[in-house]
């Protein structure tokens, strides 16, 4: 289902939670949604053929006081790509896990939790993934306040 | 009563990962992957290097397929800056990327044939990989991590004798891969070991987010080079290899035929290489804004999500590495299989832990 | 049935000059190294095993179990999570054991000097005998590393 | 058997009284008297010659050195590379000497939670078992009824078969004693594989025994004087070759020591000279397998012209190359495929061969027993 028709459908169905939706490039759309509308938007995308998850990335904006979580999903038949974004409060960022909708984001969400502290409720396996075992809790490397200090 | 065996960090075939297997007799019931042994914090380092300095760093993220990863990052930076690379640089980039893809596929084939204890194919593939390394060394000066593709174009033009040398190597390799076919793919024992092992259905492959040759082996006809063409791929004709069975044999076969396709691409690119400059000026600063670009690297689709911040250092860089997405396939497939199949599935998915851990 | 008496005799014999030279010659010319990938120098090890830079000419073969090996090649960067396992593996190897550190990241953490999860220099973890610089070092450099190690063993260090 | 050399007798220095031999209880005094006769001295020299030189230590060491060198060179040549090159005079001949000396100097490690006695016993047992089977193989005729063998018996084939069936116990002992998950898996695989290939081994030998009419290896070779047994029992030859490859676990069928899956099978924990023993026993097994194959099917020492022993060694050399070439030309079978091949494919073949042998001997009376 190509991107233009998808945007109209999203504007009609998700008008209450939708923040903004635009097309950056031919076949690449980005949709920004409020956190509570995430699950609804994801199921809508999955029905329209966007069932191939690409990545989950978290971006930390300390000046705006929020952490933005971006889901990139692609539809293999129409060869198009959608970025599903949502902004979470920076203090205790948490959102429902989209693992049941897209099975592929299991490891991505786990890594985002470990790197940025975004708590995904309902995620079966939120524990240490890439960092070493004795990494102290509560410190998230990709947050802006975590500074790299040269050791040697 | 299953015992928990660590298919450990120091295992002849395990690479940089530990698989905790619940083994009952010889059957593996369930597996859990423990990665992170080569996590160097590439994404955090991106915020401390300016965008030119970061090209060698991202090549260390997957140094079996260095030019493709550099291409992925450089395209993201150029998309953010909105600059267009001259025509000759596009063709040179395609040549470097395809040579690096052949290098990566030969290495994957070498490791897969070692899982059955078939060292002859391992060393044959490694021997012929040396020829490709010579070509890349002649082109970019380094064997493995070339840093040949930089923002704005390509670092150096083709040396004088490169075309003839490349034609010799590619003609030899074109004849040589059919020896591999007879030696490896028509070997009855290798077929027994890999056919019907780790079957990934089309629906599972799509839902798990599997990419690259593993996706095409399960019957999905999707290749970023043809469906979302970048650089000079739309001007070159090549077929996308698709298999239907989705087992380890199909994945190895897809990679094998892709080597033949890559050779065809390089020959075309070398033949109609346009004249002109090889680099264009790049603005010193990364403009504000964000973009997501994807390319087809040897192991799969590499997506780079970059957020610019107005300075010369990217604000945030997310590398969605292909092996990270194939890892879900490994954990999904290693269930209710005999112990002997673990290395076969692991290396047929061609997972490189440097990708996964970044 | 303890093996203490055998051990004592072995140590007594092995410090007699001609016996020591013979033992060192044997150790130098049959270095069995354990295949343990720690970082990003693996492609060079594969071309070392291949035909062009064949390291079996020096009598070295990659060996599956670390109980029978006497050389461990640290290929590339060693992260903190990997360092614990590296130390565990080094302790399990039988006694006359040697270590070759491959690549700048292993020697001083070179490329990742400011990374939060990389051990800056592997000699904080295991005693290193031969350092091979380069990122990744060319197979000829690794062969030269083997030769240096053999010379070192022949001198009896 | 008359030996050319003159035998030394006990020295009696004239001035002093003769050396009093100890007086021992009844069964041993007969032995002491027999030891004083010259016949015993002749027997002792001949036995020590056999034990120390031909089928004994010297031959094993020389064969192992050649076998290691040959295998690594062959393996490397197939890989288009040069094998061990700088170690000895002829392009690395002394590679095994270097490996052996290095292993001598290694520390012997005992895993602390392992059963120490059985752990150290296993490599010694596996080596001695391989050497014992060499004792019953007749190598070449010395006289009309005499053969150059350590122990001549009418049932030498049965004894060798019995010794072959002892192998899984030692591997299970090693696997269990070193108390490591991988070795336990290796031990179980050893049990599966060796038992699965015991039956086809027996059946393929049975067809030869039917043709030869006796269990004595020497008689089997004698009856092959005009026609080698490979011609009538070609199927038996194939089954025997494959099952001996499984018994001594060479590459296509070596799931016991599958490096890529279970680290090194039951031998994972052994270091130093214990591993040297295991490696040596592996090459002695190759020697036994090639001796047995050439004796049972290729007419042992029969051959025009040269001395019988030379013919046997030529056949054995070629066959041991065949055992070793599998390592570089075939990937390894999985355990269920291997057992399936053993039970369902080899045994019917061997039965067909036994049927053909019976028909040849008792119905058509082509081969007179």
Alpha helix (H) ranges present in chain D? Answer: 26-36, 38-52, 57-78, 95-104, 116-135, 156-165, 167-177, 181-196, 198-212, 217-222, 234-247, 272-297, 308-329, 335-340, 347-358
Q: Round to whole Å and give the CA distance between D86 and D98.
A: 11
Give the C-alpha separation, D275 to D277, whole Å.
5
CB D214 within 8 A of CB D154: yes
Task: For residue B5, give the nearest of D78, D181, D333 by CB distance.
Answer: D181
B115, B127, B338 ranked by CB distance to D260: nearest: B115
Sole residue written with tokens 């599903």: A84
Residue contact B45–A148, C-beta within 8 A? yes
* A99 vs B: CB within 8 A: no
| Cβ distance of A115 and B294 shorter than 8 Å | no
Residue A66 lies inside a defined structural domain of this protein: yes
Residues 6+ apart with CB under 8 A from C85: B9, B10, B37
| A119 in a structural domain | no
C-alpha B153: how far from its chain's center?
Answer: 21
- Say if B322 falls within a structural domain: yes
Q: pLDDT tens, A50-77?
A: 889 999 998 989 888 889 999 999 988 8
**ipTM of the modeled complex:** 0.87
Compute the C-alpha angle D335/D341/D347, nearest 5°: 135
Buried b (16+ CB within 10 A) or exposed e, B277-295: ebbeebeeebeebbbbbbb
Whether A130 and B357 lie within 8 Å, measured CB to CB? yes
pLDDT of residue B17: 86
Write down the domain spans for chain C: 15-154
Please, which residues 27-86 of chain B have a Cβ atom closer than 8 Å to chain A? 35-36, 39, 41, 43-45, 48
The tens place of each residue's pLDDT in chain B, 358 residues long, gives 788 888 877 777 777 888 898 988 788 898 888 888 888 888 888 988 888 889 999 988 888 889 999 999 999 999 999 899 999 999 999 999 999 999 999 999 998 988 878 888 889 999 999 999 999 999 988 888 888 999 989 988 999 999 999 999 999 999 999 999 998 899 888 898 889 888 999 999 999 989 989 999 999 999 989 888 888 898 999 999 999 988 999 999 999 999 999 999 999 999 999 999 988 988 888 898 889 999 999 899 999 999 988 888 899 999 999 999 999 999 999 889 888 888 899 999 988 888 888 8
Task: Choose the mutation target among A58, A70, A74, A79 for the interface with B, i.e. most B CBs under 10 Å.
Answer: A74
D182: nearest CA partner in chain B: B5
Question: Is A38 a member of any domain?
Answer: yes
Q: Which of D75, D185, D331 has the CB atom closest to B339's CB atom?
A: D185
B30, B34, B36: best to mutate for the A interface, most A CBs within 10 A: B36
Contact yes or no for B41 and A141 at CB 8 A: yes
Q: Does C17 touch chain D (CB under 8 A)?
A: no
D312 phi and psi, to 5 degrees? -60, -45
**CA–CA min distance B26, chain D (Å):** 8
Give the chain C residue nearest B42 (alpha carbons): C115
Q: Apex CA B38: angle with CA B32 and CA B43, to 5°?
A: 105
D164-195 per-position pLDDT tens digit: 989 899 999 988 888 888 888 888 888 989 98
Residue A89 lies in a domain: yes
What confidence tens digit (pLDDT) does each residue in D146-157 have? 888 888 888 999
**Distance to chain C for A5, nearest Cα, Å:** 45
Looking at the partner chain, which of B206, B318, B357 has a beta carbon nearest the beta carbon of A51? B206
CATH of the domain at A87: 3.30.460.80
Residue A82 belongs to a domain: yes
Range of the domain at A84: 3-93
Q: What are phi and psi of B134, to 5 degrees?
A: -60, -45
Cβ of C66 under 8 Å from any chain B Cβ?
Answer: yes
Chains with 3 or more CB pairs under 8 A to chain D:
B, C
Q: What domain range is B277 assigned to?
A: 38-326
Give the pLDDT band (50/70/90) at residue D228: confident
User: Measured between CB atoms, which of B38, B57, B126 is closest to C39?
Assistant: B38
Instruction: Give me the residue from B10, B60, B107 closest to C46, CB to CB.
Output: B107
Between CA D202 and CA D220 the distance in angstroms is 15
Residue B93 lies in a domain: yes
Which residues on chain C are in Cβ contact (under 8 Å) with B9?
Answer: 36, 82, 85
pLDDT at A152: 46
C55 interfacial to chain D (CB closer than 8 Å) = no
Question: Which residue pairs, CB below 8 angstroms and at least 24 apart, start in B106-110?
Answer: B106/B132, B106/B259, B107/B64, B107/C43, B107/C46, B108/B64, B108/B255, B108/B298, B108/B299, B108/B347, B108/B350, B109/B180, B109/B184, B109/B252, B109/B255, B109/B256, B110/C46
Q: Give a yes or no: residue A101 inside a domain.
A: no
CB atoms within 10 A of CB B159: 12
Q: Are strands B289-297 and B300-308 parallel, antiparallel or unpaired?
A: antiparallel
A contact chains, 3+ CB pairs < 8 A: B, C
Q: What separation, in Å, do the N-terminal and C-terminal C-alpha atoms of chain B show?
A: 37
**Structure confidence at residue C148 (pLDDT):** 93
D322-366 per-position pLDDT tens digit: 988 888 888 888 888 888 988 999 999 999 999 998 888 888 777
Residue C14 has pLDDT above 60, yes or no: yes
Kindly state the average pLDDT of the residues D30-49.
Answer: 81
User: Among C44, C107, C114, which Cα is nearest to C78's?
Assistant: C107
Tell me the C-alpha distance between D269 and D271, whole Å.
7
Does residue B348 belong to any structural domain of this protein? Answer: no
Phi and psi, residue B5, nearest 5° = -105, 135
Q: What is the C-alpha separation between B186 and B181, in angstroms, rounded?
A: 6
Mean pLDDT of chain A, nearest integer = 86
Number of domains forming the structure of chain A: 1
- Beta B289-297 vs C98-102: how paired, if at all? unpaired
The confidence score (pLDDT) of residue D21 equals: 62
Residues of C in Cβ contact (< 8 Å) with D104 = 23, 26
B5/D331 CB distance under 8 A: no
Q: How does strand B3-7 pair with strand B18-24?
A: antiparallel
CATH architecture of the domain formed by C15-154: 3-Layer(aba) Sandwich (3.40)
pLDDT band at D87 (very low <50, low <70, confident <90, very high): confident
Q: What is the largest CA-CA distance in chain B?
A: 69
Domain presence at residue B340: no
> By the 8 A CB rule, do B83 and B311 touch?
no
Residues of B in contact with D262 (CB under 8 A): 339
Does residue D32 have a pLDDT over 80? no
CATH number for the domain including B264?
A: 1.10.645.10
pLDDT at D350: 92
Q: Does B343 touch chain C (CB under 8 A)?
A: no
Q: Mean per-residue pLDDT for D4-25?
A: 65
Q: Is there a domain that residue B353 lies in?
A: no
pLDDT bracket for residue D2 (50, 70, 90): low
* DSSP sequence for C49-109: HSSTT-GGGGT-EEES-GGG--EEEEES--BHHHHHHHHHHHHHS-SS-EEEEESHHHHH-
Tokens of D120: 């150290």
Give the residue from C31, C52, C57, C156 with the most D CB atoms within 10 Å of its CB, the best one to mutate. C57
Positive or negative CA dihedral for A98, A100, A106, A111?
Answer: positive
Residue B314: inside a domain: yes
In B142-257 the beta strands, taken as DSSP E runs, fall at 149-150, 153-154
For chain D, give the longest Cα–Cα distance. Answer: 78
| A75 part of a folded domain | yes
User: 65-84 in C: which are within 8 Å (CB) of A?
Assistant: 79-81
Q: Does D128 touch chain C (CB under 8 A)?
A: no
How far apart CA A13 and CA A21 sit, in angstroms, is: 13
d(CA D57, CA D183): 30
| Number of compact structural domains in chain B | 1
């Amino acid at each position: 289902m190509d991107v233009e028709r998808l945007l109209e459908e999203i504007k009609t169905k998700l008008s209450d939670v939708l923040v903004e939706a635009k097309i950056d490039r031919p076949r690449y759309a980005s949709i920004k949604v409020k956190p509570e509308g995430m699950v609804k938007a994801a199921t809508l995308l999955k029905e329209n053929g966007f069932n191939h998850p690409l990545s989950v990335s978290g971006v930390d904006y300390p000046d705006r006081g929020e952490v933005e979580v971006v889901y990139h999903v692609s539809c293999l038949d129409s060869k198009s790509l959608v970025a599903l974004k949502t902004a979470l409060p920076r203090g205790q960022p948490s959102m429902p896990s989209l693992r049941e909708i897209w099975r592929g984001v299991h490891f991505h969400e786990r890594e985002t939790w470990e790197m940025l502290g975004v708590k995904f409720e309902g995620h079966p396996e939120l524990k240490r993934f890439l960092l070493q075992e004795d990494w102290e809790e509560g410190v998230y490397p990709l947050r802006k306040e975590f500074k790299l200090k040269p050791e040697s | 009563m299953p015992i928990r065996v660590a298919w450990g960090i120091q295992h002849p075939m395990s690479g940089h990962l530990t698989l905790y297997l619940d083994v009952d007799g010889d059957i593996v019931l369930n597996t859990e992957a423990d990665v992170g042994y080569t996590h160097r914090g590439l994404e955090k380092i991106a915020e401390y290097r300016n965008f030119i300095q970061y090209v060698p760093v991202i090549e260390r993220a997957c140094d079996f397929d260095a030019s493709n990863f550099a291409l992925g990052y450089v395209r993201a930076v150029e998309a953010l800056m909105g600059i267009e690379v001259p025509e000759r640089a596009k063709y040179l980039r395609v040549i470097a990327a395809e040579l690096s893809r052949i290098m990566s596929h030969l290495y994957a084939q070498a490791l897969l044939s070692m899982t059955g204890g078939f060292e002859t194919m391992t060393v044959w593939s490694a021997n012929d990989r040396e020829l490709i390394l010579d070509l890349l060394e002649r082109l970019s000066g380094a064997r493995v991590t070339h840093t040949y593709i930089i923002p704005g174009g390509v670092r150096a033009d083709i040396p004088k004798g490169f075309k003839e040398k490349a034609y010799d190597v590619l003609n030899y390799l074109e004849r040589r891969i059919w020896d591999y076919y007879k030696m490896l793919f028509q070997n009855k024992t290798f077929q027994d070991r890999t056919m019907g092992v780790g079957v990934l259905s089309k629906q599972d492959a799509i839902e798990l987010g599997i990419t690259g040759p593993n996706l095409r082996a399960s019957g999905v006809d999707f290749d970023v080079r043809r469906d979302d063409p970048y650089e000079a791929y739309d001007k070159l004709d090549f077929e996308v290899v698709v298999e239907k069975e989705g087992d380890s044999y199909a994945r190895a076969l897809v990679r094998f035929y892709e080597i033949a396709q890559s050779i065809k691409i390089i020959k075309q690119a070398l033949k109609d290489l346009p004249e002109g400059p090889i680099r264009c000026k790049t603005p010193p600063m990364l403009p504000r804004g964000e973009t997501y670009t994807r390319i087809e690297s040897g192991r799969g689709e590499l997506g780079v999500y970059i957020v610019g911040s107005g300075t010369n250092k990217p604000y945030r860089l997310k590398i969605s590495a292909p092996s990270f997405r194939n890892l879900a396939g490994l954990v999904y497939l290693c269930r209710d299989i005999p112990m002997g199949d673990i290395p076969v599935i692991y290396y047929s998915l061609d997972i490189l832990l440097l990708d996964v851990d970044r | 049935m303890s093996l203490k008496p055998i051990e004592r005799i072995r140590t007594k014999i092995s410090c007699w000059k001609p016996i020591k030279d013979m033992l060192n010659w044997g150790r130098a010319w049959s270095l069995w190294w354990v295949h343990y990938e720690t970082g990003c120098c693996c492609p060079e090890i594969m071309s070392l095993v291949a035909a062009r830079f064949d390291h079996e000419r020096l009598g070295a073969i990659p060996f599956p179990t670390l109980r029978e090996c006497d050389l461990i090649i640290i290929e590339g960067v060693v992260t903190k999570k990997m360092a614990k396992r590296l130390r565990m593996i080094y302790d399990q190897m039988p006694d006359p054991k040697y270590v070759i550190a491959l690549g700048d990241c292993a020697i001083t953490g070179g490329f990742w000097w400011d990374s939060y999860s990389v051990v800056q220099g592997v000699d904080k973890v295991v005693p290193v005998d031969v350092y091979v610089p380069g990122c990744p070092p060319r197979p000829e450099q690794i062969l030269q590393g083997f030769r240096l190690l053999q010379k070192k063993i022949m001198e009896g260090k | 058997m008359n030996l050319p050399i003159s035998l030394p007798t006990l020295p009696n220095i004239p001035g002093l009284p003769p050396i009093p031999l100890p007086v021992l209880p009844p069964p041993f005094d007969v032995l002491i008297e027999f030891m004083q006769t010259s016949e015993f001295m002749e027997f002792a020299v001949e036995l020590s010659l056999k034990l120390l030189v031909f089928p004994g230590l010297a031959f094993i060491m020389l064969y192992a050195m050649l076998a290691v060198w040959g295998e690594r060179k062959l393996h490397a040549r197939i890989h288009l590379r040069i094998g061990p090159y700088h170690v000895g005079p002829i392009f690395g001949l002394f590679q095994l000497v270097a490996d052996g000396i290095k292993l001598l100097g290694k520390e012997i490690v005992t895993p602390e939670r392992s059963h120490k006695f059985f752990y150290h016993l296993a490599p010694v047992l596996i080596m001695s078992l391989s050497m014992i089977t060499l004792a019953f193989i007749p190598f070449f005729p010395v006289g009309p009824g005499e053969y150059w063998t350590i122990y001549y018996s009418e049932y030498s084939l049965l004894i060798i078969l019995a010794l072959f069936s002892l192998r899984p116990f030692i591997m299970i002992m090693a696997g269990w004693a070193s108390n490591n998950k991988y070795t336990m898996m290796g031990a179980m695989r050893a049990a599966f594989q060796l038992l699965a290939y015991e039956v086809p081994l027996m059946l393929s030998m049975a067809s030869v025994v039917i043709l030869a009419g006796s269990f004595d290896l020497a008689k089997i070779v004698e009856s092959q004087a005009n026609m080698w047994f490979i011609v009538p029992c070609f199927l038996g030859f194939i089954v025997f070759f494959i099952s001996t490859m499984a018994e001594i676990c060479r590459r296509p069928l070596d799931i016991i020591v599958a490096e890529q899956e279970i680290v090194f099978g039951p031998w994972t924990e052994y270091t130093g000279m214990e591993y040297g023993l295991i490696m040596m026993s592996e090459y002695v097994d190759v020697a036994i397998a090639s001796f047995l194959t050439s004796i049972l099917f290729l007419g042992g020492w029969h051959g025009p012209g040269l001395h019988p022993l030379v013919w046997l060694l030529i056949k054995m050399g070629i066959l041991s190359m065949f055992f070793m070439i599998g390592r570089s030309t075939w990937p390894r079978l999985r355990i269920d495929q291997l057992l399936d091949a053993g039970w369902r494919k080899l045994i019917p073949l061997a039965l067909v061969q036994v049927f053909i042998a019976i028909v040849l001997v008792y119905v058509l009376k082509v081969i007179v027993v």
